[in-house]
Structure 1
Amino acid sequence: MAAPPASSPTPVASVAPPTSVAAPSTASATPRPAVSSPPTPVSTPVRSCRSPEFTTSEPDGGWETGGYYVHNNMWNEDEAGPETLRACSHDNWYVDSTQPSTTSVKTYPNVHKDINSLDGKPFDGYSAITSTFAGRGPGVGIYDVAYDVWLNGVGDGDGVTEVMVWTENLKQVPSGDKLTTYTAGGFTYDVWTNDEGYVAFVSRTTQYSGSVDLKAMIAWAIGKGLIPPNPTVNQIGYGIEFCSTGGGQARFTLTDFSVTMN
């Protein structure tokens, strides 16, 4: 699945400890290797972080900046190898990670925005929830690059829903079963779900950059009965779930991320 929830120093939702954002019980399922390589990718902007303002190798190290939180998030620390995150801004950072050749999710370095508390504005109160992204995986090992969106809370808890949008995938498979497909913006997504409040939209085409209409995706899933009606929207993040880097060091680079809600 996804990784356990990350939180900024002063979280606004009920957040599980060291994290992706998913707590181990929601995100520690052992993934099954996929059988095919990613399709031809969509290109990403060229940008580099040459003079990082923040560096951390701590499993739960993070940096709050510009209304976002950049999080190293080595939530499966017992199985994870070393990982260092260097950031110039919330939308310009990279991480060097060295993970063993096993299939469990080890880390979810990400940038995320905490939205509101459980008594905050519900989903139906928003006219738009969109996001832009640009991120590129290393092309080795087992990983997925993905959004992690938390509804009705963050992490474990009754009624909490985790929605993922995978934009790049190398040999990784979501939790649960493939239910149907969803098409938007010229891209087709396989939709996976399980009985633990998890929904994953997995793009059939690798997208290194672009935008997603999260409100439309969530509304569609509510209409299909996959998400409870009118949930609160508590956290929206984007990063990489590392399972393996083949034992050597590999780099994930993020060069754009924004969330717009109104």
Structure 2
Amino acid sequence: MSRMHKHHVRAVDTTPFSGQYDSVNLGQYSLLNNLWGENDATSGSQTSQITSMKGSTVAWKTNWTWTGGNQVKSFANIQLNTGINQQLSAISSMPSTWHWSQSNTGTVVADVAYDLFTSNTAGGSNVNEIMIWLANVNSGPISAHYNAMGQAVPLVENISIEGHTWNLYAGSNGYNQVYSFLLTSGTVKSFKGDVYSFLSYLIKNEGMSSSQYLITAQAGTEATSGTAKFTTSAYSLTIN
């Protein structure tokens, strides 16, 4: 008599949550609601929830609506908890897959991005923020330089990384240096590639030290205003 092998799908908490700093843990990941800038809004709310988890691939969604103010209100995101707090020189690759979609109501200001932070020490304060924008919805990056029309001026144009073409912007947010990779055109709703390639570019070309520690690795949607439903059907990120 052959023995049946059952595949165990780990039970996950799919309860929706809407508190400012509510989160749910999923082993190597956490889903963070993160309404860090909600005080800039005259009204609004955001609800996030895990929808499924299979192996190292997670699916989640967030619905948000914000009125008033011109600052980012929230950054609903999946945070990686394993493999971080090591030096960039110790990392060989960060393979990731991200399939997402967003339906907007009215005029929306938002972005969809990976958001990484490095520090001088493990668990230390932020020194560099590295953003990889897969979508720019009527928004724009932090930049040290703007043209006469108020548009951010890229530090470097037409960089080819992981099969797409990017412009790199750089500037300070008042706390740390921010490097933002924005697509030269369009959006990427199905990304598969090595996120470490972007860190490698900064180490090789912009003088970022490989002795910096990667202290945060997140991916999600920064919401400024409007109403949107954001859905990730599959996301994974691993640090090797």
Q: TM range, normalised to the smaller chain?
A: 0.7 to 0.9
Residue aligning to 2:191:
210
Higher normalized strand content (fraction of residues): 2
Structure 2 residues not aligned, in runs of 5+: 1-11, 146-153
Find the aligned partners of 2:132 and 2:122 in 1 and give their Cα distance. 16
1:66 corresponds to 2:33 = no
The one-letter code matched in structure 2 to 1:74 is L
Query: Residues 94, 52 of structure 1: CA spacing in aligned structure 2 closer, same or farther, 3 A cutoff?
Result: farther
Q: Which secondary structure does the structure 1 equivalent of 2:20 belong to?
A: coil
Matched, 1:86 2:29: no
Determine which structure has more spread, i.e. the larger CA radius of gyration.
Answer: 2
Matching of residue 135 in structure 1 with residue 116 in structure 2: no
- Shift in alpha-carbon separation, 1:261–1:189, aligned structure 2, 3 A: same
Q: Give yes or no for contact 2:87–2:210 (8 Å, CA) kept in 1.
A: no
Partner of 1:179: 155
Which residue does 1:125 correspond to in 2?
A: 90
Q: Within 2, Cα distance between the matches of 1:154 and 1:175?
A: 25
Q: Shift in Å at residue 63 of structure 1?
A: 0.3
Give the match for residue 255 of structure 1. 233
2:169 maps to which residue?
A: 192
| Gap regions ≥5 residues in structure 1 | 1-50
Q: Percent identity?
A: 23
Q: In the alignment, is residue 56 of structure 1 matched against residue 17 of structure 2?
A: yes
- Provide, for residues 44-89 of structure 1, a one-character-per-residue CA deviation record: whole Å limited to 9, x for no partner: xxxxxxx972210101111001310001110012124111112223
| Cα distance change on mapping 1:161 and 1:187 into 2, 3 Å | same
Look up the match of 1:77.
Answer: 38
* Partner deviation per Cα, 1:145-178 (whole Å, 9 max, x = no partner): 0000111169993x62110000011111100141
Indicate which of 136, 140, 143 corresponds to 1:169: 136
Residue by residue over 1:13-69, the C-alpha shift from the partner in whole angstroms, topping out at 9 and shown as x without a partner, is xxxxxxxxxxxxxxxxxxxxxxxxxxxxxxxxxxxxxx9722101011110013100
Cα RMSD over matched residues?
A: 2.4
Q: 1:102 to 1:78 in 2, by over 3 A?
A: closer
Q: Is the 8 A contact 1:55 1:85 kept in 2?
A: yes
Structure 2 CA distance, aligned partners of 1:151 and 1:57? 28
Match of 1:221 among 190, 202, 212: 202
Task: Give the secondary structure class of the aligned counterpart of 1:261.
Answer: coil
1:194 partner letter: G
Amino acid at match of 1:128: S
Contact 2:48/2:62 (CA < 8 Å) preserved in 1?
yes
Q: 2:127 aligns with which of 160, 163, 166?
A: 160
Give distance in 2, aligned partners of 1:131 and 1:203: 17
Whole-angstrom CA distance in 2 between matches of 1:209 and 1:150: 23
Equivalents in 2 of 1:193, 1:73: separation in Å? 24
- Partner SS, residue 78 of structure 1: helix
Distance 1:193 1:155 in 2: 23
Residue 115 of structure 1 deviates from its aligned partner by 4.3
Distance of 1:226 and 1:199 partners within structure 2: 12
The normalised TM-score by structure 1 is 0.71
Opposite residue 35 of structure 2, the aligned amino acid is: M
Question: Aligned residue pairs: how many?
Answer: 206
Q: Distance in 2 between matches of 1:58 and 1:244?
A: 18
* 8 A Cα contact 1:148 1:164, kept in partner: yes
Hey, what does 2:7 align to over in structure 1? none
Mean Cα deviation higher: 171-180 or 76-85: 76-85
